[in-house]
């Protein structure tokens, strides 16, 4: 058994590359099944967010090249282009990486909590696809347990620091008084929900939520006294919006340069602050070329995020120690699990020998044998048969120079080193 974590993230790849390697929710089940069918991976899960696309795999033997080739082919990329920004972690390092991801230690925003929910969703989708088995399933459960311990026992999650919070913090720097501003939020997912909550807490004048379905937009809008519209209504509300923050799963841009130019004219070139959190991007990059538009992507939020991380830095070390402990514990249990099959086979062998000797003893009794003699023969026969194979193997190994086999056998059979040795072997 071998674990692999392979992928790209905000540290290794630009937003342009990340959006090309992203998986849509509709693609995941088919992609997972194809991944297991076309590569040596027996179990697989895919985590795809705006900041990372990662594959978590269990294989019989480590084989990352075929997986990298599959990922490149699936997204129609050059494998060399992908290899230049991809990373591969194996075995214990893969376990540690997955736990660090779940705890927010590998996130753009240190300790951000959304990634754990995204990892749980990745696990649920993999189960739906039938690509999670007992080994990867155990790793996910151990990862969730470690993440829970980190959240409970450290301050890594204290103080609201997230991409959503960073976007609102930047808006506050540009607009001194949010009480006079209107925000247009495009999308209705978890990130936009967090943005709406932060804006509402800051007392913004008005929030408009635009989404592909009005029902979903209305559900979110009701929580914050906001107004819900469809994506097609964006041109009507854009001219009245000072802040635009977008995060959808659309594969094509939702807001183009022409629509923003038109809105600016109606606003008499009053500035618009825009943050595009989506990958692939929701707002055409050319919009950033317009005067009176301040357009930021997720990569641009680094500086704002860094300022809000200071309170979490101390907790990060404690979290790393918990992750190390969680990794060690999982690997130990995994090694114990590896011994189960051997122990099971050994027990089955011993039970066959027992049954053979017992059957022989029963036949002797049926033929009128003396019970005491039969029991003595049963004990001798069973002892001899149980010791035969280990004795032969031990002599062979030591004859070949494997003297370590003696100390290993002494430890395995819990033998007292001070016990008298068989003189016949000296």
Binding residue ranges for NADP(+): 187-192
Beta strand 243-246 pairing with 293-297: unpaired
| 3 state SS of 108 | coil
3-state secondary structure at position 377: helix
Binding-site entries for substrate: 49-52, 107, 112-114, 118
Planar angle of CA 151, 152, 155, nearest 5 degrees = 65
Would you say the C-alpha torsion 257, 263, 265, 270 has a positive or negative sign? Answer: negative
How many other CB atoms are there within 10 angstroms of residue 224's CB atom?
Answer: 16
Catalytic pick among 36, 50, 85, 103:
50
Percentages (nearest 5) of helix, strand, coil residues in the chain: 60, 15, 30
Instruction: Report, in angstroms and rounded to the nearest whole number, the Rg of the chain calculated over CA atoms.
Output: 31
CA dist., res. 231 & res. 253, Å (int)? 12
Give the residue carrying structure tokens 């895919």.
46
Alpha carbons within 13 angstroms on the beta-carbon side of residue 269 total 3
Pairing state between β 87-90 and 52-59: unpaired
Say whether 36 is catalytic.
no
Distances in Å between the Cα of 410 and the Cα atoms of 361, 394, 405, 406 are 32, 11, 8, 6
User: How many Cβ atoms from other residues are within 10 Å of residue 245's Cβ?
Assistant: 30
Q: Which residues are catalytic?
A: 50
């Amino acid at each position: 058994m071998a674990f692999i974590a392979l992928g790209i993230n905000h540290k290794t790849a630009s937003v342009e590359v990340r959006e090309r390697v992203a998986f849509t929710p509709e693609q995941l089940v088919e992609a997972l099944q194809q991944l297991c069918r076309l590569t040596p991976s027996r179990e697989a899960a895919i985590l795809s967010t705006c900041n990372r696309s990662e594959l978590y795999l269990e294989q019989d033997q480590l084989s990352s090249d075929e997986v990298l080739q599959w990922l490149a082919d699936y997204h129609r990329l050059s494998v060399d282009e992908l290899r230049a920004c991809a990373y591969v972690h194996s075995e214990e390092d893969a376990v540690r990486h997955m736990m660090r991801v779940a705890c927010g230690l590998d996130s753009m925003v240190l300790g951000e909590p959304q990634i754990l929910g995204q990892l749980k969703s990745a696990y649920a989708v993999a189960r739906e696809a039938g690509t999670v088995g007992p080994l990867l399933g155990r790793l996910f459960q151990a990862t969730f347990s470690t993440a829970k311990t980190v959240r409970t026992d450290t301050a890594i999650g204290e103080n609201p620091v997230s991409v959503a919070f960073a976007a609102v913090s930047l808006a506050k720097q540009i607009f001194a008084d949010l009480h006079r501003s209107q925000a247009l939020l495009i999308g209705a997912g978890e990130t936009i929900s967090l943005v709406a909550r932060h804006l509402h807490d800051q007392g913004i004048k008005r929030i408009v939520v635009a989404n592909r379905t009005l029902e979903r937009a209305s559900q979110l809008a009701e929580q914050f006294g906001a107004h819900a519209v469809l994506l097609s209504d964006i041109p009507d509300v854009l001219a009245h919006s000072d802040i635009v923050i977008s995060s959808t799963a659309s594969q094509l841009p939702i807001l183009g340069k022409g629509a923003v130019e038109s809105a600016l004219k109606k606003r008499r070139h009053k500035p618009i602050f825009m943050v595009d959190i989506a990958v692939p991007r929701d707002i055409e990059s050319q919009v950033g070329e317009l005067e009176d538009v301040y357009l930021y992507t997720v990569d641009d939020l680094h500086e704002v995020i860094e300022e809000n991380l200071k309170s979490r830095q101390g907790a990060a070390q404690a979290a790393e120690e918990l992750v190390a402990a969680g990794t060690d514990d999982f690997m130990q249990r995994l090694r114990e699990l590896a011994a189960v099959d051997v122990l099971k086979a050994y027990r089955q062998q011993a039970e066959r020998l027992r049954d053979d000797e017992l059957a022989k003893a029963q036949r002797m009794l049926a033929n009128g044998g003396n019970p005491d003699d039969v029991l003595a023969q049963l004990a001798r026969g069973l002892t001899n048969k149980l010791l035969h194979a280990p004795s032969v193997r031990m002599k062979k190994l030591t004859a070949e120079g494997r003297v370590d086999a003696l100390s290993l056998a002494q430890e395995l059979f819990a033998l007292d080193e001070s016990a008298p040795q068989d003189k016949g072997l000296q």
